[in-house]
Amino acid sequence: MKKNIKKKVIIIFWAMYVTCIIAVVCLFKAIANGSIGYMPPVEQLNNPIDKFASLILSSDDIVLGSYARSQDNRILVEYNNLSPFLVTALIATEDIRFTKHSGVDAYGLLRAFVKRGLLFRKSGGGGSTITQQLAKQLYSPSARSWMERLLQKPIEWVIAVKLERSYTKEEIINMYLNKFDFLYNAVGIQSAAHVYFSTIPKRLRPEEAATLIGMCKNPSYYNPIRYTERSRLRRNVVLSQMEKAGNITPAQRDSLSSLPLTLRVSKMDHKEGSATYFREYLRMVMTASKPDRSNYPNSWQRQRFTEDSIAWESNPLYGWCNKNKKSDGSHYNIYTDGLKIHTTINSRMQQYAEEAVREHLSTDLQPKFFAEKQGRSYAPFARTLKPEDVDLIMTRSMQQTERYRGMRKNGVSEADIRREFRKPVDMNVFSWNGPIDTLMSPWDSIRYHKTFLRTAFMSMDAHTGHVKAYVGGIDYTKFQYDMVTGGRRQIGSTMKPFFYSLAMLEGISPCDQVIHEPQTLTDENGVPWQPRNSGSERIGELVSIQWGLQHSSNWVTAALMKQLSPYTLVNLLHSFGMKGNIEPVVSLCLGPAEISVSEMVGGYSTFVNGGMRVDPLYVTSIEDVYGNTVATFTPQTHDVLTPAATYKMLNMLQSVMNGGTGSRVRYRYNLRAPMGGKTGTTQDHSDGWFMCFTPNLVSGCWVGGEDPSIRFDRMTEGQGASMALPIYALFMQKVYADKGLGYSETAGFLVPPQYADPCSDRSGEYLRDHPSDSGRGIDRIFD
């Protein structure tokens, strides 16, 4: 009887054992087939990480930023570009038997079960391998029910085994580090190295690699920014594990453990960092869609539709993502396709431009503007502005805010919105010393931010068109309107080089003379126009055309306008690259046309290139996620002036810098390089301009208020030589001081011998003496 019972027990035991084995096999088979739980399809296992941020690189291979959706700000880095300390630290800390198992470490599971499950030791170690952790990152959703929690580990085991079959150990390590979220929008090791240490993974030092690997246990708990000491202790644990594994010596461990935790934080925020305006411009251009007339319903948008349509057809970069397709037939996605966009920006020159803007505006110009407007009820607007005009400007600005649009969308009346805008609320406002948390009404905050002068600066290689520096405003976080390419303002006397070029084309010589006296012109409607002149030098005397440009005389310019056609000037301006609508009026010679900084810089390149204009070039090439070059971009050039006219203008524009309105660059900033340029100041000194070029660089700067009515009351501070010229001068001081950039103050302009004498062709004397015949040359040049 006892034998039968014992036999039955043995049979039942083996039956249960076999049943459990079969059940486990069936369970794992069902998991592998996707019948139970979630199992990713084969194609997804073969391409587990398919979304990578696109990287923006400077011409000197510095990461300027990235384009990504907030959850996919992951920048691909290859295994051979990882610091060896990262790999050894990860294996030593997270999975010491990584090279010996096939996804699931039975020994590690048993150890964890005994030490943590039976002996309740917290230091018993985890049973999850690096591959299992990767499987969890890639495919395991958060478990909600007890059944999901029960199956989560077996599912991870199966996925881990499949991953091990599909990838090498190096590829698994690489995927793990590319996938891990290190907080602060730093997804992946490339972003993490940039955010915490402002470097790239390959250059991480041992203690830096240990800090980042230490975060893998719990990034929030071991956050080095918030919990420095806790993170430092965790780093030292990682270093100890590396020493145990034989990756570093005990002496190295002790030396590295004694170091303080030093961070160089650079957050992955599109609104912060270097070249913010440039990065946003690039994003908008590359993702632009083909212009559809229905999206430009208003009459004032028709010109923009024309410009966008021309850009779509002629500019390869404009709408690049929507013009080009991948091998699978889909269009490129700048946020998920892991593109590498190689730009023309030089990171150091970009830094120098941003520093120059900050130095001049924060320490000189803005304090003067505050001082002038202090205590005045009309501040920051001009004293001539009527109260109703101020209210109109303020209302227009209010209606452009997100706060206003949200309230209107929710059905709030205009009157109630105005009342809400007058109520003080907690807010963060801009200052040159850093953001300020304060209590202020939205209405007052609009007026407060209008008190800050705005600027735009761009510098490009005069021959290749490579844009080296691009500053679209004073702070992208608070002022997102880009004044380099998006904004248009009147250009004032920086128009004169274009206009005097027309005179040179017509055969007028820089040495021809006119009487320096007030001029009266009549427009097509018979209305007289008499320009004012800011200076009082040599009134009533004979002066040369060159003197007129050198001293920016409006009277000399108007005298030339009598001999030339505004319609021909408009045609020439378009040849110089000006894209906006330009009215052919007699006053055009003094610069009432509204033009962008980028167009002006491109136009001035003509004077350096023997009469050939080069368009600004922002990107040289684009690579896909696999490193294949999928696009290249080359400069676009256009013939504008004859060599004879060009070298006459080159001579005259150099005289502007040597004794003319641009000479402040010489005597105040001690810049000795050969230069040509022009200052510009618009009506009521609303806009200050400075355009300048050397044999290698052409640059442009604008400074003014958000609205033309926001301006200095006096010409002394409001002129281009005071507002814009100092930014250029400070920038060039820094450029020349950095010998590694290769720019020299001694290199001169190359002028062919036959054009060395600007006055050798005196044919212009005929036009001076016979103004009635001035139109004949115009028709000959512009058919």
The string of pLDDT tens digits covering residues 345-371 is: 999 999 999 999 999 999 999 999 999
Most confident region among 126-130, 193-197, 738-742, 775-779 by mean pLDDT: 738-742
Preceding peptide of 380 cis, ω within 30° = yes
Label residue 332 by pLDDT band (50, 70, 90): very high
Select from 87, 84, 82, 107 the least CA-distant residue to 97: 107
Cβ atoms of 456 and 449 within 8 Å: the answer is no
CA–CA distance, 134 with 637 (Å, rounded to integer)? 51
Residue 255: what are its φ and ψ, rounded to 5°?
-65, -45
In three state form, how does the secondary structure of 152-178 look?
HHHHHHHHHHHHHHHCCHHHHHHHHHH
Q: How confident is the model over 516-551, as pLDDT tens digits?
A: 999 999 888 889 999 988 777 888 889 999 999 999
More confident residue, 28 or 410: 410
Beta strands at 612-614 and 637-639: parallel, antiparallel or unpaired:
antiparallel
**Going along 596-657, which residue ranges are E strands?**
612-614, 619-623, 629-632, 637-639
> Could you give the C-alpha distances from 76 to 187, 286, 427, in angstroms and in order?
10, 20, 37
Q: Where are the beta strands (DSSP E) in 117-221?
A: none
On whether the CB atoms of residues 700 and 600 are closer than 8 A, the answer is yes
Helix (H/G/I), strand (E/B), else coil: 134? helix
CB atoms within 10 A of CB 509: 22
Residue 65 pairs in a beta bridge with 56
The strand ranges marked E within 58-189 are 63-67
Query: 196-205, 374-383, 592-601, 685-694: which range is least confident on average?
Result: 374-383
pLDDT band at 42 (very low <50, low <70, confident <90, very high): very low
- What is the per-residue pLDDT for 153? 64
Residue 101 sits at φ, ψ, to 5 deg, of: -110, 175
CA atoms within 13 A on the CB side of 241: 26
Provide mean pLDDT across the span 375-380.
86
Q: Tell me, what DSSP letter sits at residue 695?
A: S
Contact between 467 and 699 (Cβ < 8 Å) = no
Rounded alpha-carbon distances, angstroms, from residue 522 to 527, 561, 562, 582, 587: 5, 11, 9, 19, 10
Q: Give the tokens for residue 719.
A: 């002129």
pLDDT at residue 777 is higher than 60: no
Integer Cα distance of 194 and 199 in angstroms:
5
Residue 757's pLDDT is 85
Q: For helices 2-33 and 146-166, what crossing angle results, to 10°? A: 70
- The mean pLDDT of 647-664, rounded to a whole number, is 95
pLDDT category, 512, cuts 50, 70, 90?
Answer: very high
pLDDT greater at residue 270 or residue 112: 270
CA distance 118 to 464: 72
pLDDT value, residue 51? 73
* Helix and strand numbers, DSSP H then E, in the chain: 32, 20
Residues in contact with 7: Cβ distance below 8 Å, sequence separation at least 6, in sequence order: none
Q: Given this model, what pLDDT does residue 239 score?
A: 95
- Contact predicate 32/158, CB 8 Å: yes
Report residue 313's pLDDT band, with 50, 70 and 90 as the boundaries.
Answer: confident
Residue whose tokens read 């009082």:
536
Binned at pLDDT 50, 70 and 90, residue 49 comes out as low
Half-sphere exposure of 103 (CA within 13 A, CB side): 19
Q: What are 145's two structure tokens?
A: 């029910």
- The mean pLDDT of the chain is 86
What does the pLDDT average to over 148-169? 72
Distance CA 132, CA 104 (A): 7
Of 676, 648, 649, which Cα lies nearest the Cα of 756? 648
- The answer to whether 131 and 185 have CB atoms below 8 angstroms apart is no
Query: What is the pLDDT confidence band of residue 66, given thresholds at 50, 70 and 90?
Result: confident
Residue range 685-691: average pLDDT? 95
Residue 768's pLDDT band (boundaries 50, 70, 90)? very low
- Say which residues have a Cβ less than 8 Å from residue 419's Cβ, sequence separation at least 6: none
Residue 40 has pLDDT above 60, yes or no: no
**Residue 564: its H or E element:** none
Q: How many Å apart are CA 702 and CA 483, to the nearest integer? A: 8
Span of 293-307, 452-466, 689-703, 755-769 with lowest mean pLDDT? 755-769
Distance CA 133, CA 118 (A): 24
Query: What value does the mean pLDDT take over residues 457-477?
Result: 97
Strands of 454-461's sheet in order across: 467-471, 454-461, 697-704, 687-693, 676-681
Q: Is the pLDDT of residue 321 over 90?
A: yes
* Pairwise CA distance, residues 414 & 427, whole Å: 22
d(CA 382, CA 451): 11
Share above pLDDT 70 across residues of the chain, in percent, rounded to a whole number: 86
| Residue range 597-621: mean pLDDT, rounded | 97
CB within 8 Å of 776: residues ≥ 6 apart: none
Q: Is 293 exposed, middle or buried (0-12, 13-18, 19+ CB in 10 A)?
A: exposed
Residue-level pLDDT at 429: 94
Provide the pLDDT for residue 99.
Answer: 83
Which of helix, strand or coil describes residue 381? coil
Q: Which residue has the tokens 């115009």?
A: 778
- Tokens 């892991």, residue? 338
What's the token pair of residue 582? 């330009």
Side-chain-side CA neighbours of 597 within 13 Å: the count stands at: 33
- The amino acid at residue 705 is G
Q: Which of 197-201, 318-322, 652-656, 722-726 has the lowest mean pLDDT?
A: 197-201
Mean pLDDT of 100-124: 59
Beta strand 521-522 with 528-529 is: antiparallel
Amino acid, single-letter form, for residue 497: P
Query: CA 749 → CA 46, 212, 502, 739, distances in Å?
Result: 58, 52, 22, 20
How far, in Å, CA of 84 to CA of 93, rounded? 14
pLDDT band at 378 (very low <50, low <70, confident <90, very high): confident
* Burial profile 537-553: b = 16 or more Cβ within 10 angstroms, e = fewer: eeeeeebbbbbbbbbbb
Give the pLDDT band of residue 500 (cuts 50, 70, 90): very high
Q: What pLDDT is attached to residue 765?
A: 39
Residue 556 reports pLDDT greater than 60: yes
Local structure of residue 629 (DSSP, 8 states)? E
| Residue 306 token pair | 């024309």
Q: Residue 302: what pLDDT?
A: 76
Opening angle at CA 155, ends 152 and 156, nearest 5: 85
The pLDDT value recorded for residue 486 is 92
Residue 763: the pLDDT is: 38
First-to-final CA distance of the chain? 122
By C-alpha distance, which of 82, 17, 24, 74 is closest to 49? 74
Torsions phi, psi for 312 (to 5 deg): -60, -40
What confidence category does residue 70 fall into, taking pLDDT thresholds of 50, 70 and 90?
low
Instruction: Report, as an integer, the average pLDDT of 63-83.
Output: 81
The C-alpha atoms of residue 721 and residue 689 are separated, in whole angstroms, by 8
Query: What value does the mean pLDDT take over residues 154-180?
Result: 82
CA 704 vs CA 472, 578, 582, 662: distances in Å: 13, 20, 21, 19
Question: What's the pLDDT at 766?
Answer: 33
Structure confidence by residue, pLDDT tens digits, 661-674: 999 999 999 999 99
Q: In the predicted model, is pLDDT for residue 158 greater than 90?
A: no
Q: Which two tokens stand for residue 228?
A: 């420095």
pTM confidence score:
0.83
595 forms bridges with which residues in the sheet?
489
pLDDT at 771: 38
pLDDT value at residue 125 = 52
pLDDT on residue 263: 92
Smallest Cα–Cα separation from 458: which of 595, 564, 588, 576? Answer: 595
